[in-house]
Structure 1
């Protein structure tokens, strides 16, 4: 009760102080306004007398400057006020204190605008020249005429300001005494009451801004102290809970963002609540675009929208496989799982998107590979078995027939051996079980030696091999594997080039556009290019994308007759990729083919 009484006393003291202040302000303002009105009336009367006694002339400003300036100086001596003569367009034609030629146009001055509107206008402005406030009063020479010339008088308000200063000083001293007494009375209360409340308010605002480390310093055991302890306890609990929430959110976000499956959460109203990074990639939409919007707003195919709708209606687990065509074609395994809260209330559905395109493709490739291997192995085995049975049936007694059959059995066995070897080789390369031993290789002698190894095969078919290698070219590679690449491509060119044809090799650095025209010594190239060109039968355009596939043959009969296994180009492609390079094929039917290999000079 005493605290209420004290607070009431403080309020009364403050009210009294404000009342006195308001009364003083009102009195001071009234005194000042009355004094200014009296001064304004005196100036108006003086200007009327001046206008009545003065001969007002008209003409160009250059002709009027001298006359009105002399009149302004004469009238200033009489009125002890600044006199200004202004033409109808705002041009100053005479002034008692300044050169009118140097003065700005006064048409926009407040007192001039008021005078145009009502005959008489006034304004109070500070004068930097006199460092004092001046009262300006303007009056039309021809009242009622908006283009009338004007006379203006300015009077210093130093006396008025001095009187007001004395009033304000007395008022200020009285208020200081009153507020000093009030301050002595309310100091103890304000200190004991407001400061703890202010601290509690600051701490509460920091907690609201999620700064849960803020605490109240408690110095008393009263109600305010208990409030501070309660806020501290609340902050402790919030800090622990928010730390757990942030940890859980971080873990959940990390799990969702790094999942290989897409996750989309949709509430019972059909709004998208959550979308992880993988789902964004699969669906072609960002979480920012879809979050909070209805799932039907996503421009997806009808099957997906239908599955989500069925899941929201049936509220049971659904699984489907559908093909998506945007942003790219993929086969997706969709699992739609209903979500229920602790009270068994339906909260929505969780859509799990698994891209099974690669799995299906691998399964298809594995099936095709097994089928191709079975077919390729079956052909020579069947031939060996058939001719062996023929020999066992009596053909062995005919030496010429027996020798012919045995040669066929030998050739098919050799082909079967090469086929099995190529399959094992390709298997090791694809499984990355082939260790590459990189070393610097000078390409000019390397290519010469490789061509020597293939010359005998080329001579048998009367095929010429030409070679052009820029001297001083080096590349870091596995020498045996690089030779295997080049020999496979040379053998391929020789096999599919008619007699009298040519197989050529070109090795050069890969120059960037800005390197063109530079000296060879200044060029620091990063890749080399190997081009192997033949004048063979060529490959149709429709077969170009598939020539590097296992067992793919453009001309199956020609390939088998040449002893090919259908795995050579596939092995070449994998070896080039193990060297972190690239291989391309350009071919025209009846003209020939060009294999272009680009390899980095240095291996990482």
Structure 2
């Protein structure tokens, strides 16, 4: 009964829809024929009026360079809005307002062929370069002294097509409304009988699709109502259980995604079934690329692939340190552990990856620091010891030699003192044990004072100190530490600049809004020299402790190799940033950005 009623309803809707579609097609067809006929009559009337009023002698007299027909076609096209073409008596195009002429040998256009009989020729077609069809109307014409031929007017049918589509859309909308009303009536007829069962069917499908919030609202107290009540109870129970499962899954996913360690789970068939955000970052693949794929897809990480394969073979925990070179170089501590879900039930491999790059880098830096400190301390101590032994061995009898050796001992002692001072200073700065006394600093006066301090050192090499500092630029900083930053950078610039060169300091406010030059939150300090420059390979390590680009020259100049490292830490204590730009042989630029207020 239910299927038959629904089939009858569908047939009823089908026939109503079919009759409306047929009526709509007939209406559109009649309307379009009428519009085409009107367009044809309009073009014919325009053409006849034009042929009756055109003065070919005047047109011929005003033509330039034999372009009479082309110019006349363009003129008429502007007046009528139609495409105008002139043909000679053989059907060869003499002028076209569209700029295109029919190539010879392709035959007469159909409308010209029909116009040869003396009656207007009409033809509708789509040109290769046009978006819509074009209606052409052609008539025989006498061109005065230029002979006889044909005149053709053409007009695009695109507006007509648009009007047809608009009417068709209205008819379609009306058909949809009629079908909706018909469907509503049919629905209301069957609702009283089939409604409850359909509701239960829909809710059952929604529960199947894991929508456990679906409920059945049936006021009946009969067997159908009891069935609906039982389905509601079942849905409530499933919803509670799924909520618990989703909460547990959400917590687990949140933990995995926020872990700094990478986690990859491989099932017993070798397919990746889980990986967290850190694992994606380590492997250089997204979860969408790896989930469901075999672990051997990570071809760029051969060591990891071999470790998982070995763990599959041995079925015992493995651990190793592996260097990943893609997507960036990292050292990872990897644990591969076989998983079991029950006794003797093998489930696959769990891989946990810890990024120990920073730890190994710190260990290397600590080792290098100890070695560098030992080497740097050993050099002046060995010099002091050697020259002291020489003096004790009898060289003290020569006053000139004694004075020279004592000067060397003094210089090495000073160097040793500077080195120890810089080490202690760097240690305090790195451990944040340096109290900063912030106060407003007027940058123009401050830079002039620094230049005055460095004038003697710059004069020895004939270096010119230049400043470009706007008036009334202030920042809040520890003046002594800011002075230490600029003195270190200027000393480096003087050391590595050519004799007779120049050194430039620029201080500029960083404007967020150019319309408000007095409102700025950061200041940029640039120290530019035009000396030997720094090789590109050394730029990433320029702020490391004891790192020297030119080691021999640095020691001759008395440098400790800690200046730039101290500068970087002092800038960071001021909550600022520092970067370096350099080109070998062209000079170096240190760029510091500091907040105006601390």
Give the TM-score of the pair, scaled to structure 2. 0.59
Q: Which runs of 5+ in 2 are unaligned?
A: 13-40, 42-191
Q: 1:561 aligns with which of 553, 556, 561?
A: 556
Q: How does 1:383-532 map to 2 (within 5 A)?
A: 383-389=383-389, 404-460=404-460, 463-497=463-497, 501-509=500-508, 527-532=523-528
Q: What SS does structure 1 have at the residue aligned with 2:342?
A: coil
1:320 CA displacement:
3.0
Matches of 1:278 and 1:244, distance apart in 2: 27
Q: What SS does structure 1 have at the residue aligned with 2:566?
A: helix
Please tell me whether the aligned partners of residues 534 and 588 of structure 2 are also in contact (alpha carbons under 8 angstroms): no
Query: What's the RMSD between the two structures over aligned residues?
Result: 4.2
1:314 paired residue number: 314
Q: 1:235-268 CA distances to partner (integer Å, 9 max, x unpaired)?
A: 4432332122111101110011011111111111
1:384 CA displacement:
3.4
Matches of 2:307 and 2:239, distance apart in 1: 42
Q: 1:276-310 CA distances to partner (integer Å, 9 max, x unpaired)?
A: 11111111211112212223344434433333223
1:597 aligns with 2:591: yes
Please tell me whether the aligned partners of residues 530 and 597 of structure 1 are also in contact (alpha carbons under 8 angstroms): yes
2:65 paired residue number: none
1:362 paired residue number: 362
Matches of 1:258 and 1:521, distance apart in 2: 43
1:586 paired residue number: 582
Q: 1:115-152 CA distances to partner (integer Å, 9 max, x unpaired)?
A: xxxxxxxxxxxxxxxxxxxxxxxxxxxxxxxxxxxxxx
1:246 aligns with 2:246: yes
Structure 1 residues 566, 510: closer, same or farther in 2, change over 3 A?
A: same
2:381 paired residue number: 381
Q: How does 1:205-224 map to 2 (within 5 A)?
A: 205=205, 207-212=207-212
Please tell me whether the aligned partners of residues 464 and 502 of structure 1 are also in contact (alpha carbons under 8 angstroms): yes
1:414 CA displacement:
2.4
2:346 paired residue number: 346
1:476 CA displacement:
4.4
Structure 1 residues 242, 543: closer, same or farther in 2, change over 3 A?
A: closer
Q: What SS does structure 2 have at the residue aligned with 1:425?
A: helix
Choose 1 or 2 for highest CA Rg.
Answer: 1
2:180 paired residue number: none
Structure 1 residues 428, 587: closer, same or farther in 2, change over 3 A?
A: farther
1:329 paired residue number: 329
Matches of 1:542 and 1:243, distance apart in 2: 56
Structure 1 residues 258, 601: closer, same or farther in 2, change over 3 A?
A: closer
1:114 paired residue number: none
1:229 CA displacement:
6.6
Please tell me whether the aligned partners of residues 545 and 561 of structure 2 are also in contact (alpha carbons under 8 angstroms): yes
Matches of 1:201 and 1:554, distance apart in 2: 79
Structure 1 residues 347, 540: closer, same or farther in 2, change over 3 A?
A: closer
Matches of 1:502 and 1:339, distance apart in 2: 69
Structure 1 residues 514, 235: closer, same or farther in 2, change over 3 A?
A: closer
Structure 1 residues 296, 472: closer, same or farther in 2, change over 3 A?
A: same
Please tell me whether the aligned partners of residues 212 and 236 of structure 1 are also in contact (alpha carbons under 8 angstroms): yes
Q: 1:91-122 CA distances to partner (integer Å, 9 max, x unpaired)?
A: xxxxxxxxxxxxxxxxxxxxxxxxxxxxxxxx
1:533 aligns with 2:529: yes
Q: 1:331-385 CA distances to partner (integer Å, 9 max, x unpaired)?
A: 2332211111124211111122222222222222221111101111122233334
Structure 1 residues 388, 332: closer, same or farther in 2, change over 3 A?
A: same
1:563 CA displacement:
1.9
1:388 CA displacement:
4.6
Q: 1:376-416 CA distances to partner (integer Å, 9 max, x unpaired)?
A: 11222333344455566676787766655554443333222
Please tell me whether the aligned partners of residues 475 and 528 of structure 1 are also in contact (alpha carbons under 8 angstroms): no
Matches of 1:430 and 1:568, distance apart in 2: 13
Please tell me whether the aligned partners of residues 509 and 525 of structure 1 are also in contact (alpha carbons under 8 angstroms): no
Q: How does 1:136-151 map to 2 (within 5 A)?
A: none
1:453 CA displacement:
1.5
Matches of 1:540 and 1:240, distance apart in 2: 66
Please tell me whether the aligned partners of residues 332 and 353 of structure 2 are also in contact (alpha carbons under 8 angstroms): yes
1:509 CA displacement:
2.9
Structure 1 residues 315, 374: closer, same or farther in 2, change over 3 A?
A: same
Deviates more, 1:289-298 or 1:218-227: 218-227
Q: Which runs of 5+ in 1 are unaligned?
A: 1-10, 26-61, 63-189
1:542 CA displacement:
5.2
Q: What SS does structure 2 have at the residue aligned with 1:341?
A: strand
Deviates more, 1:388-397 or 1:549-558: 388-397
1:7 paired residue number: none
Please tell me whether the aligned partners of residues 528 and 601 of structure 1 are also in contact (alpha carbons under 8 angstroms): no
Give the TM-score of the pair, scaled to structure 1. 0.58
1:257 paired residue number: 257
Matches of 1:548 and 1:430, distance apart in 2: 13
